[in-house]
């Protein structure tokens, strides 16, 4: 029997766990693109990477305390403009129509009395890490699916007729130890348990005993893993509910692996078990901002983001050989480039490559609004796998990067900057 444990409105619940005055009122957590890393003054930026699996992105942060005014309100020509979006809304706020990804200004029009607090990702990461440790002690087989979701398999450990009572105890322990509400779905099939959690919310438990009966009238868009493209493909064939999926096995099988996988997940016959989340296969960072027309400033920001990726590379001790840069410009224009070089990674090499890539792809007189960097294709530092021509010089640059990394670990990521970042 599987459990799917989902923390209710996680970011909002986390804030309430440290500030009880936020309980019982319409409140939300908001965020805006963190542009603090581009400051020319030192901000003592650090990294939160306790959840080191592939399921959650590392967070760069400073110890600076933000208020609503300092974080979300910009003063332009004597006027106030509220920036940012809703990350998580409490259920009290949702009753007014407040939704995730809604602009904060719009949300406050719907619910003027709502309290919006700036996001505190270090708090959420630390709490998620502690909850994961707690879950591992309570359930013999546990999988952290996201920062606020967990799968548990209690087969052969708890009798099926006792699983609901176990879920009630688990829910009570989460309140007692963390002051965090959870909803729990129960089923003999993993993905049906996740679907059942939607029926349990908020702060409830729902057990699916008859899968065929449960899925009959549920819309296909509700099922985890059915994206917009696959949803459209199904609807074009008049498949609108999960019950319709169950009745169209030959069609789903004709779509090969993705169709077969979906059919078995929907019908609860996939036999998928608990997975251990894999090691990180890539490292990426992106930032969105108001249009920038100065090519030198765009390159400066690319170099700063490269420093942050370098820090992560050094911390998890990998050697990426594929580098990706994308710049989004105004009016939906995107320019991207990917390059693979079999060399020892260093900050110097990374910035050198990015500088050349940007020079090849920059668009004069057009405002950039987003930069995305990514490194992947990790390989070893062994001579046989890397370029012999540059090996000795690259090895020296790598040693320098390691020394710089040690300083940044001690004093913050912005203790040392290269000229291109200034």
Specify if 51 maps to a domain.
no
How high is the pLDDT of residue 326?
97
Q: Which of 66, 63, 33, 67 is nearest to 46 (CA)?
A: 63
409 lies in the same domain as 287:
yes
Look up the CATH number of the domain holding residue 187.
3.30.70.270
Q: What is the pLDDT, as a whole number, of residue 404?
A: 87
Q: Is residue 59 part of a domain?
A: no
CATH of the domain at 226: 1.10.150.810
pLDDT for 386: 67
Q: How, if at all, do strands 282-292 and 27-31 pair? A: unpaired
pLDDT of residue 141: 95
In a domain, residue 93? The reply is: yes
Residues 218 and 331 in one domain: no
Q: Quick check: is 40 in a domain?
A: no
Residue numbers in the chain where pLDDT is lower than 70: 34-35, 42-46, 48-63, 277-278, 380-387, 419, 422
In a domain, 392, yes or no: yes
Give pLDDT, residue 44. Answer: 67
Is residue 254 domain-shared with residue 183, that is, in the same domain?
Answer: no
Based on the domain organization, do 224 and 289 belong to the same domain? Answer: no
Domain count for the chain: 3
Give the range of the structural domain holding residue 238, as residue numbers without chain letter: 210-276
pTM, full prediction: 0.80
| 217 and 202 in a common domain | no
- Give the per-residue SS3 of the chain: CEEEEEECCHHHHHHHHHCHHHCCCCEEEEECCCCHHHCCCCCCCEEECCCCCCCCCCEEECCCCCCHHHHHEEEECCEEEECCEEEEECHHHHCCCCCCCCEHHHHHHHCCCCEEEECCHHHHHHHHHHHHHHHHHHCCEEEEEECCEEEEECCCCCCHHHHHHHHHHHHHHHHHHHCCCEEEEEECCHHHHHHHHHHHCCCCEEECCCHHHHHCCCEHHHCCCCCHHHHHHHHCCCCCEHHHHHCCHHHHHHCHHHHHHHHHHHHCCCCCCCCCCCCCCEEEEEEEEEEECCHHHHHHHHHHHHHHHHHHHHHHCCCEEEEEEEEEEHHHCEEEEEEECCCCCCHHHHHHHHHHHHHHHCCCCCCEEEEEEEEEEECCCCHHHCCCCCHHHHHHHHHHHHHHHHHHHHHCCCCCCCHHHC
Domain boundary among 158, 179, 209: 209
CB 300 within 8 A of CB 221: no
Q: Cα separation of 316 and 311, whole Å?
A: 9
* CB-based contacts of 401-406 (< 8 A; 24+ apart in sequence): 401/310, 401/314, 401/345, 401/346, 401/347, 401/348, 402/314, 404/347, 405/310, 405/311, 405/314, 405/315
Whether residue 258 sits in one domain with residue 164:
no
Asked if 110 and 27 sit in the same domain, the reply is yes
Q: Where is the domain boundary, 248, 276, 304?
A: 276
Instruction: Supply the pLDDT for residue 54.
Output: 41
Q: What is the pLDDT of residues 19-56, one digit of tens each?
A: 999 999 999 999 987 667 787 776 666 676 655 444 55
Considering the domain architecture, whether residues 153 and 251 belong to the same structural domain is answered as: no
* 356-359 contacts at long range (C-beta below 8 A, 24 or more positions apart): 357/323, 357/325, 358/298, 358/299, 358/302, 358/325, 358/327
- Predicted confidence at residue 303, as pLDDT, reads 94
Examine the domain organization and report whether 268 and 298 are in the same domain.
no
> Residue 244: inside a domain, yes or no?
yes
Residues 26 and 129 in one domain: yes
Domain assignment present for residue 71? The answer is: no
- Same-domain pairing of 323 and 266: no
Supply the CATH number for residue 311's domain: 3.30.1490.100
57 within a domain of the structure (yes/no): no
Identify whether residues 288 and 375 lie together within a single domain. yes
User: Which of these three, 209, 229, 249, is where a domain ends?
Assistant: 209
């Amino acid at each position: 029997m599987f459990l799917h444990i989902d923390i209710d409105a996680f970011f909002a619940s986390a804030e309430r766990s440290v500030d009880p005055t936020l309980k019982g009122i319409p409140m939300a957590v908001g965020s805006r693109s963190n542009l603090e890393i581009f400051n020319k003054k030192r901000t003592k930026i650090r990294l939160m990477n306790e959840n080191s699996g592939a399921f959650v992105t590392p967070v760069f942060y400073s110890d600076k305390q933000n208020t609503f005014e300092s974080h979300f309100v910009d003063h332009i020509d004597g006027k106030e403009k509220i920036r940012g979006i809703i990350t998580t809304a409490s259920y009290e706020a949702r009753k007014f129509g407040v939704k995730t990804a809604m602009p904060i200004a719009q949300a406050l029009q719907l619910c003027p009395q709502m309290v919006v607090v700036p996001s505190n990702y270090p708090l959420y990461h630390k709490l998620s890490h502690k909850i994961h440790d707690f879950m591992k002690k309570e359930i013999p087989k546990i999988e952290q699916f996201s920062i606020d979701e967990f799968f548990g398999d209690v087969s052969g450990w708890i009798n099926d007729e006792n699983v609901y009572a176990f879920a009630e105890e688990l829910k009570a322990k989460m309140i007692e130890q963390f002051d965090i509400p959870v909803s729990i779905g129960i089923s003999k099939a993993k993905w049906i348990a996740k679907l059942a959690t939607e029926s349990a919310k908020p702060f409830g438990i729902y057990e699916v005993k008859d899968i065929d009966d449960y899925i009959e009238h549920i819309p296909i868009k509700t099922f985890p893993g059915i994206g917009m493209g696959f949803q459209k493909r199904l609807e074009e064939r008049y498949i609108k509910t999960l019950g319709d999926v169950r009745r169209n096995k030959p069609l789903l099988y004709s779509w090969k692996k993705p169709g077969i996988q979906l059919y078995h997940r929907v019908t609860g016959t996939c036999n998928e078990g608990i997975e251990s989340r894999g090691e990180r296969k890539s490292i990426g960072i992106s930032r969105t901002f108001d249009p920038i027309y100065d090519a030198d400033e765009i390159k400066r920001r690319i170099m700063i983001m490269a420093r942050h990726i370098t820090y992560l590379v050094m911390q998890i001790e990998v050697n990426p050989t594929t580098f990706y840069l994308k710049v989004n410009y105004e009016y939906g224009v995107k320019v991207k480039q990917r390059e693979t070089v079999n060399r020892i990674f260093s900050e110097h090499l990374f910035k050198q490559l990015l500088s050349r890539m940007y020079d090849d792809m920059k668009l004069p007189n057009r405002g950039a609004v987003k930069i995305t960097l990514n490194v992947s294709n990790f390989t070893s530092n062994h001579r046989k796998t890397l370029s012999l021509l540059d090996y000795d010089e690259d090895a020296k640059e790598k040693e320098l990067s390691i020394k710089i990394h040690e300083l940044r670990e001690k004093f913050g990521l912005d203790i040392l900057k290269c000229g291109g970042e200034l």
